[in-house]
Amino acid sequence: MRRTALLVSAALLTGLLPLASAGAATGAEEPPPVPVDRFEGEVAFASQPAEGIFTWGGDSDDPPKLELAARGDAPEGDKVLSGTYDISGYGGFTHDFAANEPGHDWSAHKGIRFWWDGKNSGKRVNFEIKDGGSNGEASELWTTSFTDEWTGWHQVEIPFTDFTYRTDYQPVGGIDQNLGLTEMWGYALTLPTGTPGTFAMDGVELYGKADPALTTKVLTGAAVYPVKEGGTAGVPISVATTGSAPLAEPVTVAYESAGGSAGAGTDYTPVKGEFTFPAGTASGAAHTVSVPTLKDKAAESAETIPLKLTVTGAKAPAETPQVVIDAHGLPYLDTKLPVKRRVADLLSRMSLDEKAGQMTQAERNAVGTGGDIAAYDLGSLLSGGGSTPTPNTAAAWAKMIDGFQLRAQATRFQIPLIYGVDAVHGHNNLVGATVLPHNIGIGATRDPGTAEKAGAVTAAEVRATGIPWDFAPCLCVTRDERWGRSYESFGEDPALVKQMETVVQGLQGARSGKDLDRDDKVLATAKHFVGDGGTEYGSSTTGSYTIDQGVTKVTRQELEAVHLAPFQEAVDRGVGTVMPSYSSLDIIGDDEGPVKMHADAAMINGVLKDRMGFDGFVISDWQAIDQLPGDYASDVRTSVNAGLDMIMVPSAYKDFRTTLIDEVKAGRISEKRIDDAVSRILTQKFKLGLFEKPYADTSGAAAIGSAGHRAVARTAAAESQVLLKNAGGVLPLKKSQKVYVAGSNADDIGNQTGGWTVTWQGSSGKITDGTTVLEGMKKAAPGATISYSKDASAPTDGYDVGVVVVGETPYAEGIGDVGNGNDLELTAADQAAVDKVCGAMKCAVLIVSGRPQLIGDRLGDIDALVASWLPGTEGDGVADVLYGAKPFTGQLPVTWPRSEAQLPINVGDTAYDPQFPFGWGLTTLRTPPGGGTLTLKALALAAAAAQKAGSAEAGRAVVGRARLLVQQKVGQDITPAVAKPFADADHLLLSGRYADAVAKLTEAYRAA
């Protein structure tokens, strides 16, 4: 999916493109053409984010090659923009401007035109303009196309009326979906794919006089007006002009109630009339048309009354507004009835088309203003990563989702939408939300209570913006740190993942689902079923991914013990939805070979639903059925018959719904399977209380990013810090010390929060509100001398200690796979910073990353080493442990390797020689006990007693003391003879086998 980057700062074309105004063309004469680009050198080529013309593409070879070439036949001047291309995915070029000044006003003109050197290829070229918003990066995209069907130079004229709103992708979401033309930020061309080609272009300019329909519009407040039977609906009709100028000419609106499913004279009193906004009327003036409905005693489904408008002198509304008489008196609307009966009643009334719509999930951008929600009876929408309203505020989220829910009220049974987002570490799509540590850090806390609180904060902030469904938690068991999704896992041991599943209760509340209708709870999603964390390196066939979406090859015993166990726990906890993995499962010994999880009926129907007893619904991943073998009809029937209940088809919702209906009618999908799927979906909608309260309850919005929520995130960040080495007691720092801070991740909130933050991939820099590690340190020691030099180029003399914060930059999913442009090494700049600071003074190195980094060659020069993971927005939590306000208590949730050649390496492996074993983590909470083997013998007896009594708290405390004793003796001399029993002990502890854990720790102690 192209994520159009928009640049250009200052007055690049100030002299070339004067700001025209709508009022400049009020006379009969057309305004003269206004040049945009002449390509004589006035516009530079550039790489993002510099100003100028830049290229883009899906792969490294897709961007075209451009030049300003001298041509004797140039239509204007001496040069033209020419280029070559060979595009397999997508590619093109963009010219953006006016980023640091008011956008250009094109509203006085009819359209845009340019010269194109035709090849008569018959190929289509897409042309896009960028309108409205605060700048080019926050604008709407409007698109059209032309076909190369001539030879030689030809002037292509495109009236602005030809442009349509892009429904497949918007960089930041729609502004108002009206082409205003008063704030234009640039244009872009998407070139043909499939065969190599050349092009030449010249003389881009604005032409003609504006179409009056583009400067004056008649608007309605909404497209849908629900009203209770017997009530009167008021439909406000207003007039608006570009630039908010008074009307230059009168505008007349005739209206008439006609058509629809409601009966004139029986369900409503017909209305018909006409009114005029006179010349001089202020922009925004409104007139309300009242539509009275009639009451009878019959129970009925919803009925529609279209109010047809005929407009003279302005552009009519894009849609005919509809009054909707609410459904009433039907059993499914009775809140006193059990959910099961309400579901059965509603299902019995629904047509196949309506059922198919409930099984369809579309992306918000694909449905535009939302008219297709009712037209196709859509059951669900989602925001993909980074798909947000503009502005990206809590209020804008609620308004957007309420607008979509309003559309669903125009359906026959007014079945509400269920809207979903990937809130994987807080409401991470929303700027200003509380961003918690990623799951890998939560796993490091070893604290189920913290996991539950993290889920509760996430749920409260998500639901306060009108969203009732979260595509989280990820219950993957990460087995190879080369996987780009490693940080989405709580750890490599299924026993650890199971302990952290208290997050499900944080999100949903009670296991019964009775809390789902609360304004601070959301429906959770256990993902990705099953085995995504076990994919083999090199097995992926998705683009340039190396491991993500690959093949998990395991014995049935490994499958059960490692990958399935967390899902049984989630089902037992009442999780409402489950999402299958993109990956394939290859069970050794069954001779079936790899099976795509979205097609694996034995696992979804057989294991998840039948054996485990999962009674929620199964939602597919993004376009995942497209990866199944066969044609589209095969993809649909295979996935639905395998047990998928709702299909995420971001932009292909029309094709999916039609195909699903056809497959049922042909008998290839049974109506029983459809009824089962829809029943599961409706059950969750009723539990969420959406039928009674479809719109956002924003009463909790004030708590988004609040001090209370950030306090939870701060505690989680502190608990997630794992102290791997602490020679000479360098940590905690003293406030009296002079501290030299360096490294790429010391003062970067984007790097600190990682992927899935504001956008899908995340990004470096100040992307949201929060406290960096450096800022947290300065707050923790306000009177101390704390100096910062990112690259450690500043003099190092005179400091007591150095803190170097290094690690990764953000990524998500397979984009972050090792071998896909990533590795586990520190960057050269980070390595240099570590070397310089640690060579000059005592130092502590913090690694901010989603997975272990290879640090072994520098470990001897580092006094203290901390695995900081991705702590989120609350760098104060990191500072808390650095300065001793809170102790280090975190433990490794994954094995820390010595080299990439060791991967995969996990607790329980026969050969196990890591840099740091699973469960390792020094503490500043208490001093280790003395007494050596005698103390261990006593602890073994205490552990056995705790295990017999079933006392988890006592058992963990006893094993924790034994672990500290072992770590003190071992120091940094971690041999395989020490590492293996130490890691095994932590697995046994997580499994509740406290006596066995102490026995393993005793073995490690003796081997040290």
What CA–CA distances, in Å, run from 803 to 630, 737, 787, 846? 55, 12, 10, 7
Q: Which of 561, 494, 493, 479 is nearest to 919 (CA)?
A: 493
Please give the backbone phi and psi of residue 835, each rounded to the nearest 5 degrees, phi first: -60, -45
Per-state percent for the chain, helix, strand, coil, to nearest 5: 30, 25, 45
Strand order in the sheet with 525-529: 525-529, 577-580, 617-618
CA 526/CA 577 separation, integer angstroms: 6
Q: Is the CB of residue 640 less than 8 Å from the CB of residue 669?
A: yes
Question: What is the C-alpha separation between 472 and 455, in angstroms, rounded?
Answer: 9
DSSP character at residue 436? P
Helix (H, G, I), strand (E, B) or coil at 602: helix
Active site residue 591: no
CB 284 within 8 A of CB 339: no
Q: Could you give the angle at the alpha carbon of 829 between the alpha carbons of 824 and 831, nearest 5°? A: 60
- The answer to whether residues 851 and 484 touch, using CB atoms and an 8 Å cutoff, is no
Whether the link from the prior residue into 732 is cis, omega within 30° of 0, is yes
**If you search the block for the tokens 């993809």, which residue do you land on?**
635
- Neighbouring C-beta atoms of residue 973, cutoff 10 Å: 8
How is residue 588 written in tokens?
Answer: 């050794």
CA separation for the pair 85, 360 (Å, rounded): 37
For residues 525 and 470, the answer to whether their CB atoms sit within 8 Å is yes
Query: Which residues, at least 6 apart from 839, have a Cβ–Cβ distance to it below 8 Å?
Result: 861
Find, among 312, 303, 338, the residue nearest to 412 by Cα: 303
Are the beta carbons of 184 and 103 closer than 8 angstroms? yes
- The one-letter code for the residue type at 611 is R
Q: Is there a catalytic annotation at residue 813?
A: yes
CA distances from 257 to 27, 265, 373, 892, 991 (A): 38, 11, 22, 67, 68
In angstroms, the CA 632 to CA 669 distance is: 14
Q: How far apart are CA 720 and CA 716, in angstroms?
A: 6
* Amino acid at position 161, single letter: T
Rounded CA separation 869/444 (Å): 9
Q: Are 306 and 259 in contact (CB under 8 A)?
A: yes
Q: In this structure, how many other beta carbons lie within 10 angstroms of the beta carbon of residue 350?
A: 20
Which of 572, 456, 580 is CA-nearest to residue 515?
456
Give CA–CA dist 278/560, Å, rounded: 75
Which residue among the candidates 480, 621, 808, 913 is catalytic per the annotation?
621
Among 96, 520, 813, 876, the one annotated catalytic: 813
Which amino acid, 46? A
- Give the gyration radius of the chain's Cα atoms: 31
d(CA 719, CA 447): 8
Could you tell me if residue 501 is left (phi over 0), alpha (psi between -120 and 50 degrees) or otherwise beta?
Answer: alpha
Q: What whole-number distance in Å separates Cα of residue 948 and Cα of residue 853? A: 40
- Give the whole-angstrom CA distance, residue 690 versus residue 682: 10
What are the catalytic residues?
621, 813
